[in-house]
Chain A
Amino acid sequence: MRLIFEKSVTGRSAFSVPRCDVPGEPKIPRKYLRKTAARLPEVSELDVVRHYSNLARKNFSVDTNFYPLGSCTMKYNPKFTERIAAMEGFLSLHPLLPQLRGGGLLTQGALEVIYQTERLLCEITGMEAFTMQPLAGAHGELTGAMLIAAYHKDRGQKRKYVIVPDSSHGTNPASAAIAGYEVIVIPTDKTGCMDFTEFKKNLNQDTAAVMLTCPNTLGIFNSRIKEICDEAHKVGALVYYDGANLNAILGKSRPGDLGFDVVHINLHKTFATPHGGGGPGAGPVGVGEKLVEYLPVSRVMQRPDGTFALSYNHPKSIGYIAPFYGNFSVILKSYAYIMRLGRQGLIDVSEKAVLNANYCRVKLKDEFDVPYDRICMHEFVISASRQKEGGVSALDIAKLLIDNDIHPPTVYFPLIVKEALMVEPTETESLQTLDRFVGVMKEAARLSREAPQSLTQAPLSMPIKRLDETRAAREPRLRWELDSDNR
């Protein structure tokens, strides 16, 4: 499909600039003005609408396709939350309004949303306090790592290392490194958990924190999790909970009770806000008692009279990590979702998410290698290594799924499993959808034995075939050029 820029016709316009109703023709001195106009598209409104409507149709999405992308929790996003976020009373609020008159009196509804969501997340995770500011999961991790650094610094300690298991999300070591830490990687044992002996060997007075996902990226809940937290605390280290997989344990376990000191949650995963093609999400961070004083400013407080206010007077705070109060409309949607589901609804979420994952795992284990074959939580990892011997890779299987209108699972992650396919069905998918997925996966296994060549050609039903990623990386073309010869 042509680019919107390629549809441009000189002189065409979609925009109606409001009438100028003020007198005078003032001018800014020429040296401050741009000399050549930005070459934005010159198109009609219908051109724009048709262009992006047609582009929309070239995407797989939760509303149109089964989307079992592991560790991403692509559950159904209820429509009513969009309606709430679009309410004028929230949508048009300027973020600096709380700075005017009486600290927040103009935005009581919005501050209440933030405050109440914090309280609900505290109860869900067993933490003492939350900041809703982090703008994404990885941003939450960085905030958490900064809180950890502030805690140790305040105790006059210069701890150097953060421990992560080799199954961790790549953002964990990256966030730790950006907060100034060196990263120590612990291998996974036969049961799919962080090797406890190796962990203890590397744990010492220089350890600032241990960062864990529980259940981990293999979908396994580590039964020794509390012991790990206890051991870390013994040497004065803190323990960080990556909440990417929280959808597995709602009402079944709480990181706060297990001994975790810092938690981040992905609202766009567990709490059903749409992923938006990669964002906006939200990654609020919860802390135990000993870290509350380091939370970023501003914080939302409730006054004795029941009204809400922003408070900035926290001398030990790590400071500003976002311009305002977080991705407010994302917070709003997740609050509505939690309120809609309630206590039992959230427990059902995890129970059915785990049920769906185990069902798929059991149905697939005859055809695919399951490296850690045991009861899993909300997701599991299979390996296409058997198929690979016949020349069919995990990527080929992913592409065959696309031809069957199913978004592929996460592939080649976690890194410790060869030819990994990480499957997270989520609770909102029906038995019929799961059976269809299992059927297509079995067909992929059959084809990889009988006609491997056919798999390496997939997908054939999409607007384009497999793309040359090497070419894209060798000679990056990151924008359209007016004189581009490449049509």
Chain B
Amino acid sequence: MNIPEDLLYTKEHEWIRIEGADICRMGITDHAQAALGDITFVDLPADGSDCGQFKQFAIVESVKAASDVFAPLSGTIVGSNTELTSNPELVNQSPYDKGWFCLIKFSDEKEKEKLFSPADYRKYLEETAH
């Protein structure tokens, strides 16, 4: 399972990459895309909308499942991956790169403490896999 070392993770299998003082990029993990199977549609929040940490803010659909996606940090959406509208399979092919979801301008630095380090996320996956 691919778990890049430079990212932070959530229990709900989202990742973030810090890209500035108060900007992060987010998406869903390799584990999440594999569990969902072929992704057919991603419903992303509008630019300028607000999100709350661990609150639902997007939906990802495969043929047989639809999953809520939760915001890893509170803040405002300042960009989203419009490529996913026509090519949702990018989430399967490149979950950490071309298959990113949104850019969040986050409002509370401290919330990062509630996220998993790569090692913790790996451990979490191992514990929950059975």
Contact = CB atoms under 8 A, between A and B. Distances in A.
A contacting B, Cβ–Cβ less than 8 Å:
yes
B27 interface: no
Contacts of B41: 473-474
Interface string B54-65: 000000011110
A470 interface: yes
B103 to A, nearest CB: 24
B90 to A, nearest CB: 12
Contacts of A473: 40-41, 61, 63
B56 to A, nearest CB: 14
Nearest to A473: B40
B30 interface: no
Contacts of A470: 38, 40, 62-63
A378 B113 CA distance: 53
Interface size class of A (residues with CB under 8 A): under 10
Interface in B59-102: 61-64, 88-89
A469 interface: yes
A474 B61 CA distance: 10
Centre residue among A412, A469, A470 by max chain B CB count within 10 A = A470
Interface residues of B, number: 9
A88 to B, nearest CB: 47
A473 B41 CA distance: 8
Contacts of B40: 470, 473-474
Interface string A472-485: 01100000000000
A376 to B, nearest CB: 26
Contacts of A469: 63
A40 B63 CA distance: 32
Contacts of B61: 473
A412 B38 CA distance: 18
Centre residue among B40, B41, B61 by max chain A CB count within 10 A = B40
A176 to B, nearest CB: 18
B55 to A, nearest CB: 15
A419 to B, nearest CB: 13
The A interface is mostly helix, strand or loop, or mixed, namely helix
A260 B40 CA distance: 41
B39 to A, nearest CB: 8
Centre residue among A412, A469, A474 by max chain B CB count within 10 A = A474
B72 to A, nearest CB: 25
B45 to A, nearest CB: 21
B63 to A, nearest CB: 5
A473 B39 CA distance: 9
Interface in A397-415: 412
Interface string A396-439: 00000000000000001000000000000000000000000000
Nearest to A470: B38
B84 to A, nearest CB: 11
A473 B89 CA distance: 12
A412 B65 CA distance: 12
Interface in A435-487: 469-470, 473-474
Contacts of B88: 474
B91 to A, nearest CB: 12
B83 to A, nearest CB: 14
Contacts of A474: 40-41, 88-89
B38 to A, nearest CB: 4
Interface string B21-46: 00000000000000000101100000
A470 B92 CA distance: 13
A28 B40 CA distance: 47
A474 B42 CA distance: 10
A473 B62 CA distance: 8
A385 B100 CA distance: 34
A474 B88 CA distance: 8
A474 B39 CA distance: 8
Centre residue among B38, B61, B62, B88 by max chain A CB count within 10 A = B38
A26 to B, nearest CB: 49
A469 B64 CA distance: 9
Contacts of B38: 470
Nearest to B41: A473
A474 B89 CA distance: 9
B88 to A, nearest CB: 6
Nearest to A412: B64
A132 B63 CA distance: 36
A473 B38 CA distance: 10
Given A470-B38, A473-B40, 11 more contacts: A469-B63, A470-B40, A470-B62, A470-B63, A473-B41, A473-B61, A473-B63, A474-B40, A474-B41, A474-B88, A474-B89
Interface of A: 412, 469-470, 473-474
14 contacts: A412-B64, A469-B63, A470-B38, A470-B40, A470-B62, A470-B63, A473-B40, A473-B41, A473-B61, A473-B63, A474-B40, A474-B41, A474-B88, A474-B89
The 6 closest A-B pairs by CB, nearest first: A473-B40, A470-B38, A469-B63, A474-B40, A470-B63, A473-B63
